[in-house]
Structure 1
Amino acid sequence: MDDRNSTTYAAADIVNYYAQLNRLQPAEADILERLRHQLPTMKMLDMGVGGGRTAQHFAPLVQQYVGIDYSAEMVTACQKRFSTCSYATRFETADARDLSQFEDNSFDFILFSFNGIDYVSHGDRLRILQEIKRVGKQGCYFFFSSHNLQALEREMTWQKQIAPNPLKTYENLVMLGLFWLFNRPMTRQLLATSQHLIVRDESHNFRLDTYYIRAAQQVEQLSQDFSQVEIYPWQSTESIADMDAAIMGRDLWLYYLCRIETAN
């Protein structure tokens, strides 16, 4: 899993794709506005920074900005992209599973966008959460997105592929067939009963192994060291108040906002 994903994120075509992105997702834009008055006093860690999509929005507003990515190629792209900007940025190659280059209690705001936490194993995901808890100050905001297993289960049926346009229906059915081909021997029962799964989805033409998790399980993962968990659909500025809301089974991405409960 790790070799395939790290190779993909080092590929020139993937780096170039991320380097040209510039918009925040609606949920990200909402958090920026929510924290706007606090950002000037915050030290921010932007994890999985990719080509710098989020840096251009947050870096001018925070007291100190550090962007990291485990792809050295992505970091080089960021350094080039922001080499002449008028505000201070710092980009470093770093693996979220080992943030030893940063001291305990270093950051007030940690962002891990575009589902970056989903491209490691389950055990490594838990290590990442521990590292985030270590480098974040007490009360530090942690905001991240993750793939939603409930929505994947709902989407991976032939009935969901039917569209008004016959060509679109055909394309959808082809992608569905490829999904099940790349994920042999996974079954619908396994998809329905698992709390989390690693699958090959259509991201970058099935080049990535991706971790999907149910929202309730994600909240449980956060419960020991993080508090005040809020869940956002990735294309919405409104948090989800009801864990049983229909939208929990529709959006393939969910954003989670929480705070570090205790200092190290």
Structure 2
Amino acid sequence: MENKLIYESKKVVKSYSKKNNLTPPEKSILEQMKKNNIDSMLDIGVGTGRTTSHFGKIASKYIGIDYSEKMIEICKEKFNYLSNFSFSTCDARNMSIFSDNSFDFVLFSFNGIDCVSFEDRIFIIKEIKRVLKPNGYFSFSSHNIYNIPKLFSFQFPKNPLKYYAEFIRCQKVKKLNQSKNNLLNMNYAMIKDGDINFSTEYCYCKPEYLVSQLTSFNFINITPFYLKTGEIILSNQSFNLINDSWIYFLCQNNK
């Protein structure tokens, strides 16, 4: 099933509507953005508005988009009292509803950019580049391929009654994907990691490959963040030693 159809299901929409907290790196990025004059912000993959109440405060004009129409409906209901907030159904691969150089800050959180193939994310980055103002900021998170060993390993649950479910999860991960060693030798791969009962497939990438990709699109000041702590990953830190399940990035548009 295509990921888009999954995010239209009532069960998934209800699950996302319960999420309101920011991750540690999102908190760090929010604090950095507060120091900048953010007139207009685009929140891609906004879902049911998890990030809206936090990031919407720093922008004079806030727009949230998602390719799930049902999630956008919830956003419109939740934030209809705020005149400077607006929401639209839109696929990030084609954001022709927005003019060039429209936004000071574009956010694509919660690994939303991983919901499409690596080839399609090229279209997304090109579109983000287009709608960003010169020197505008882009932030996103992406699955870390160096987390594969942990993903393929049995993780002992605190509740012993969940041991069998974890055993099944571990076996399914191995059955539905390429071998661990093969994946670790790839720059990126589409992986079924067990999310939403293995119905979704996400693009996992090597962080250093993402840095090179951003550089090729002329993004500058590329700053990666640890998922667990929200701290900046220093330039002397080797990405292959970091097993955080996601890595966050903040960069600037040099155009």
Conserved in 2, the CA contact under 8 Å of 1:65 and 1:90? Answer: yes
- Output the CA distance in 2 between the equivalents of 1:170 and 1:102: 49
Name which of 47, 50, 53 aligns with 1:53: 50
Conserved in 1, the CA contact under 8 Å of 2:220 and 2:254? Answer: yes
Aligned length: 253
Amino acid at match of 1:114: F
The aligned counterpart of 2:220 is: 227
The gaps in structure 1 that reach 5 residues or longer are none
Distance 1:87 1:25, change over 3 A: farther
Shift of 1:178: 1.6
Conserved in 1, the CA contact under 8 Å of 2:224 and 2:247? Answer: yes
- Output the CA distance in 1 between the equivalents of 2:220 and 2:129: 11
- Output the CA distance in 2 between the equivalents of 1:239 and 1:247: 15
Conserved in 2, the CA contact under 8 Å of 1:60 and 1:88? Answer: no
* Residue 100 (structure 1) aligned with residue 96 (structure 2): yes
TM-score in terms of structure 2 length: 0.93
Shift of 1:61: 2.4
Name which of 191, 197, 210 aligns with 1:199: 191
Aligned pairs (5 A) from 1:176-255: 176-183=170-177, 186-224=178-216, 225-241=218-234, 242-244=236-238, 248=242, 250-255=243-248
The aligned counterpart of 1:135 is: 131
Amino acid at match of 1:218: L
Conserved in 2, the CA contact under 8 Å of 1:19 and 1:78? Answer: no
- Output the CA distance in 1 between the equivalents of 2:167 and 2:226: 25
* SS of residue in 2 equivalent to 1:59: helix
Provide the alpha-carbon RMSD of the alignment. Answer: 1.8
Shift of 1:101: 0.8
Amino acid at match of 1:62: A
Amino acid at match of 2:122: L
The aligned counterpart of 2:169 is: 175
The aligned counterpart of 1:18 is: 16
The aligned counterpart of 2:109 is: 113
* SS of residue in 1 equivalent to 2:77: helix
Conserved in 2, the CA contact under 8 Å of 1:216 and 1:243? Answer: no
Distance 1:193 1:102, change over 3 A: same
Structure 1 residues 161-170 or 219-228, which shifts more? Answer: 161-170
Structure 1 residues 198-207 or 113-122, which shifts more? Answer: 198-207
Amino acid at match of 1:153: P
Conserved in 1, the CA contact under 8 Å of 2:48 and 2:74? Answer: yes
Distance 1:4 1:236, change over 3 A: same
Shift of 1:195: 0.9
TM-score in terms of structure 1 length: 0.89
